[in-house]
Amino acid sequence: MRRGTGWQPVPRRESNFMIVTKKAISRRTMLRGLGVSVALPMLDAMTPALSATANPVVRLGFVYVPNGIIMNKWTPKTEGANFEFMPTMKPLEAFREHVNVFSGLAQVQGRALGDGAGDHARAGATWLTGAHPKKSEVTIRCAVSADQVAAQALRDHTQFGSLELGIESNQLSGGCDSGYSCAYSNTIAWRNETTPLPNENNPRAIFERLFGEGDSTDAASRLALMNSQRSILDYVNGGLHRLNAKVGVRDRVKLAEYTDAVRDIERRIQKAEQQSASLKLPVMERPTAIPDEFEDHVRLVMDLQVLAFQSDLTRVITLMMAREGSNHPYRNIGISDGHHNLTHHQNDAEKIAKITKINEVHVKLFAYLLDKLKATADGDSNLLENSLIVYGSSICDGNLHTHHDLPIVLAGGGGRQVTGNRHVMLPKETPLNNLLLSMLDKAGVAANKLGDSTGKLDCLA
């Protein structure tokens, strides 16, 4: 089997980006105050005053879950439109018109290909690259990932080219899986073939990165500011009042909703820190700003993702629910066993039932993200309509470590370019990178090749 060869750009073509001149308010307007700056959501006042409505900006999201899925509780039984949602995927039924389920996609570069064991390390490394990683605990090598191809193309339009978010820490080092470096398990994002990008799992740090002003050398002063009892919005209050006086009623409603969301996230971060500070743990040091419950943590990070999209601080975000091989227990649903250990179920019905419950938790959280995107206005539409978010895993069967027929869902309308309500059955072992290449195309990112891709998907043309 030929190994992935990376991505190949094509000459830049006309994209969907908004290029306008006669605006009442610049799209990049920010409210600035003492040591902070707050980006703004898309307002009616930012659209061209004397031109036709601009094409919407398309955001790209990549949400990863590890260790595979129990597929007979996931895969729809019929092809095409109006399929029946299976139990695990049932929380997504409310978003049917913005959901495409794919069967037949594969990341064959995750297979051994002569390298022996290490499927979990290869799964995380290949999901967005389609390239076979070098088996080593010291000298790592893979390929640029789809999110970073997009980040490189779109970075001139936003403050951040991309955000890499996670729920588990990325502090594992050394070897994590049968001779593979932990670098392969800690992230799904690769800037280039030798540079994996670390995830940030601390909501406080994510919030400061989005709304703090200046670089990391000013971290101490920004942290002191954010730890005060005042909201970040209090520091830009004057500018907010002046802006409210300049815009129409619809824009004032959008600003109110946006600022309410910022204040709510601040409150939840502060509450998490207070709870952490009150716990007395004699052995380990308690991290701050990370909620105790897994679901609360995921929802808080997802809310920050929505804010980042809403304010156009970035158009590209990856989110790892957990790293490959994660043994996180889910005690709040009665599962104290480690996730990874359970996936080696050897057809034990009790273990399969537990994995199914874990799969359902993950999908419910993804549905939460879709609901927040749909409820957030973006121009004359909403963020779900103007986004493409892929959800899934790079392993199908966690017991057998298979890398074909992957569980993959694509959500969002891509700026009214993608039709939903479909179960798309593709030829066996169609490269997952064909879907990723199609997503890049819908976001105005031109590329002829990505890893082991063989072309864009006709169903998304």
Number of other residues whose CB lies within 10 A of the CB of residue 152: 18
- Residue whose C-alpha is closest to residue 56's, from 367, 447, 442, 318: 442
State residue 406's pLDDT score.
Answer: 98
Give residues with Cβ within 8 angstroms of 46, minimum separation 6: 23, 24, 25, 26, 27, 29
Write down the H helix ranges in 72-143.
119-126
With a cut of 80, say whether residue 432 has pLDDT above it. yes
For residue range 100-114, what is the model confidence (pLDDT) as tens digits? 999 999 999 999 999
The residue that leads in pLDDT, 292 or 305, is 305
The residue that leads in pLDDT, 312 or 222, is 312
State residue 277's pLDDT score.
Answer: 54
State residue 287's pLDDT score.
Answer: 35
- Best mean pLDDT range from 24-28, 64-68, 151-155, 178-182: 64-68
State residue 31's pLDDT score.
Answer: 61
For residue range 392-419, what is the model confidence (pLDDT) as tens digits? 999 999 999 999 999 999 999 999 999 9
Domains in the chain, please, with CATH? 7-17+55-201+290-460 (3.40.720.10)
pLDDT-derived band at 46, boundaries 50, 70, 90: confident
For residue range 10-42, what is the model confidence (pLDDT) as tens digits? 444 333 333 333 456 666 666 666 556 667 777
Q: If you average pLDDT over residues 128-138, what whole number do you get?
A: 96
- Residue whose C-alpha is closest to residue 286's, from 297, 272, 300: 272
Q: pLDDT averaged over the chain? A: 84
Backbone torsion region of residue 61, taken as left when φ is above 0, otherwise alpha when ψ lies between -120 and 50, otherwise beta: beta
- Cα separation of 203 and 297, whole Å? 8
Q: If you average pLDDT over residues 125-147, what whole number do you get?
A: 96
Beta-bridge partners for 101: 409, 423
Least confident of 176-180, 261-265, 300-304, 328-332: 261-265
State residue 52's pLDDT score.
Answer: 39
pLDDT-derived band at 268, boundaries 50, 70, 90: low
pLDDT-derived band at 77, boundaries 50, 70, 90: very high
Q: If you average pLDDT over residues 314-338, what whole number do you get?
A: 95
State residue 258's pLDDT score.
Answer: 74
- Cα separation of 374 and 151, whole Å? 23
- Cα separation of 146 and 217, whole Å? 30
3-state secondary structure of 436: helix
3-state secondary structure of 251: helix
Task: Give the tokens for residue 185.
Answer: 């398990």
State residue 423's pLDDT score.
Answer: 98
State residue 458's pLDDT score.
Answer: 93
State residue 249's pLDDT score.
Answer: 79
Number of other residues whose CB lies within 10 A of the CB of residue 402: 17
State residue 243's pLDDT score.
Answer: 76
State residue 204's pLDDT score.
Answer: 86
Q: How far is CA 372 from CA 169, 194, 305, in A?
A: 25, 35, 10
- Cα separation of 296 and 29, whole Å? 32
pTM value > 0.75: yes
Strand 163-166 versus strand 175-177 pairing type: unpaired
With a cut of 50, say whether residue 3 has pLDDT above it. no
Q: If you average pLDDT over residues 257-265, what whole number do you get?
A: 73
3-state secondary structure of 7: strand
Q: If you average pLDDT over residues 333-359, what whole number do you get?
A: 96
With a cut of 60, say whether residue 132 has pLDDT above it. yes
Q: If you average pLDDT over residues 351-376, what whole number do you get?
A: 97
State residue 283's pLDDT score.
Answer: 38
State residue 442's pLDDT score.
Answer: 97
Q: If you average pLDDT over residues 196-217, what whole number do you get?
A: 77
- Residue whose C-alpha is closest to residue 4's, from 148, 122, 174: 122
Beta-bridge partners for 387: 59
3-state secondary structure of 24: coil
Q: Which residues of 65-185 form beta strands (DSSP E)? A: 80-81, 99-106, 163-166, 175-177, 180-181
The residue that leads in pLDDT, 458 or 238, is 458
Q: Dihedral through CA 285, CA 304, CA 120, CA 129, nearest 10? A: -140
Q: If you average pLDDT over residues 362-383, what whole number do you get?
A: 95
Q: If you average pLDDT over residues 177-205, what whole number do you get?
A: 92
- Cα separation of 50 and 185, whole Å? 50
Q: Which residues of 258-386 form beta strands (DSSP E)? A: 316-320, 377-378, 381-382
- Cα separation of 404 and 288, whole Å? 39
State residue 379's pLDDT score.
Answer: 85
Residue with tokens 């088996």: 135
With a cut of 50, say whether residue 460 has pLDDT above it. yes
With a cut of 90, say whether residue 359 has pLDDT above it. yes
For residue range 417-426, what is the model confidence (pLDDT) as tens digits? 999 999 999 9
